[in-house]
A and B are shown apart, each in its own frame.
Chain A
Amino acid sequence: MKQEDKTLIQDICARFNRDRTRMMDVLIEAQRALGYLSSDVIDAIAEALAIARVEVESAASFYAFFSQKPRGKFVIRLCNDIIDKLKGVDRVASALREQLGIDFGQTTDDDLFSLEWTSCIGMCDQAPAALINDKIVTRLSSDSIREIVRSLKEHGDFSKLKLALGSGNNSHPLVRSVVDNNLLQRGAVIFAPSEPSQALGKALAMSPTEVIRSIKTSRLRGRGGAGFPTGMKWEFARNATGDARYVLCNADEGEPGTFKDRVILTEAADLMFEGMTIAGYAIGSEQGILYLRGEYAYLRAFLEDVLAQRRSKGLLGDNVGGKAGFNFDIRIQLGAGAYICGEETALISSCEGLRGDPKTRPPFPAQKGYLDMPSIVNNVETFCCVTRILDKGAGWFAAIGTTGSAGTKLFSVSGDCERPGVYELAFGVTLAELLKIVGAEDAIAVQVGGASGRMVNPSEYGKKLCFDELATGGSIMVFGPGRDVIKVARAFMEFFCEESCGYCTPCRVGNRLLKQGLERFIRGMAEPSDIEYLEQLGKTVKTMSRCGLGQTSANPVLSTLQSFRSEYERRVVKNTSGLQPSFDIVKALRDSETIVKRKSVHVGH
Chain B
Amino acid sequence: MSATIHFTIDGVEVTGKAGQTILQAASEAGIYIPRLCAHKDLTPHGSCRVCTVMVNGRPQAACTQPVSDGAIVENETAEIKELRRNLVEMLFVEGNHYCMFCEKSGNCELQALAYRLGIQAPRYPYFFPQRALDATHPDIFIDHNRCILCGRCVRASKELDGKNVFQFIGRGAHKRVGFNAPDGLGHTDAAVSDRFVSICPVGAILKKRVGYAIPVGQRLFDKRPIGSEIEARRAKGK
Residues in A lying within 8 Å of B, measured CB to CB: 39, 52-55, 57-58, 61-64, 338, 355, 360, 362, 497-506, 508-510, 512-513, 516, 533, 536-537, 539-540, 543-546
Contacts and interface: CB of A to CB of B under 8 A. Distances in A.
B71 interface: no
A347 to B, nearest CB: 15
Nearest to A42: B182
Contacts of A501: 171-172, 175
Nearest to A337: B171
B167 A52 contact: yes
Interface string B31-74: 00000000000001011111010000001010010100000000
A360 B178 CA distance: 22
Contacts of A64: 171
A524 B165 CA distance: 47
Given A360-B44, A506-B86, 9 more contacts: A54-B169, A58-B168, A61-B169, A338-B171, A362-B66, A501-B172, A502-B171, A509-B91, A546-B49
B47 A504 contact: yes
Nearest to A500: B172
A516 B175 CA distance: 19
Contact of B178 (A58, A510, A544): A58
Interface in B160-185: 164-175, 178-182
A44 to B, nearest CB: 13
A442 B46 CA distance: 46
Contacts of A536: 82, 86
Nearest to B84: A544
A546 B90 contact: no
B94 interface: yes
Contacts of A505: 47-50, 87, 90-91, 94, 148-149
Contacts of B125: 513, 516
B171 A62 contact: yes
Leading 3 A-B pairs by shortest Cβ distance = A502-B175, A509-B90, A58-B167
A498 B83 contact: no
B124 interface: yes
Interface residues of B, number: 42
Given A55-B164, A62-B171, A360-B44, A509 B64 contact: no
A590 to B, nearest CB: 15
A508 B125 CA distance: 15
Contact of B171 (A61, A504, A510): A61
A186 to B, nearest CB: 39
B93 interface: yes
Nearest to A536: B86
Contacts of B164: 52, 54-55
> DSSP class of A's interface residues: helix, strand, loop or mixed?
helix
Contact of B170 (A62, A513, A540): A62
A508 B86 contact: no
Interface of B: 44, 46-50, 52, 59, 61, 64, 66, 82-83, 86-87, 90-91, 93-94, 123-125, 127, 148-149, 164-175, 178-182
B86 A540 contact: yes
A428 B149 CA distance: 45
Contact of A497 (B82, B83, B173, B179): B173
24 contacts: A39-B182, A52-B164, A54-B165, A55-B167, A57-B167, A58-B167, A58-B169, A64-B171, A355-B168, A355-B171, A360-B46, A497-B173, A498-B172, A504-B49, A505-B49, A505-B94, A505-B149, A506-B86, A508-B149, A508-B173, A510-B86, A512-B173, A543-B83, A546-B61
Contacts of A362: 66
A360 B174 CA distance: 22
B167 A508 contact: no
A58 B171 CA distance: 9
For A57, A61, A509, A536, the residue with the greatest tally of chain B CB atoms inside 10 Å of its CB is A509
A61 B178 CA distance: 10
A265 B181 CA distance: 42
A63 B172 CA distance: 11
Contacts of B83: 539-540, 543-544
B172 to A, nearest CB: 4
Contacts of B44: 360
Contact of A54 (B86, B173, B179): B179
Contacts of A502: 149, 168, 170-175
Contacts of A62: 170-171
B139 to A, nearest CB: 20
Nearest to B58: A543
A504 B46 CA distance: 7
A259 B81 CA distance: 41
Contacts of A57: 167, 169, 178
Contacts of B167: 52, 54-55, 57-58
Highest count of chain A CB atoms <10 Å: which of B46, B49, B123: B49
B118 to A, nearest CB: 16
Given A516-B125, A540-B87, A497 B172 contact: yes
Contacts of B90: 505-506, 509-510, 513
Contacts of B148: 505
A360 B59 CA distance: 14
Given A505-B47, A536-B86, A53 B171 contact: no
Contacts of B178: 54, 57-58, 61
Nearest to A503: B47
Nearest to A545: B49
A58 B158 CA distance: 15
Contacts of A537: 86
Contacts of A499: 172
B124 A544 contact: no
Contacts of A52: 164, 167, 180
Contacts of A39: 182
A257 to B, nearest CB: 21
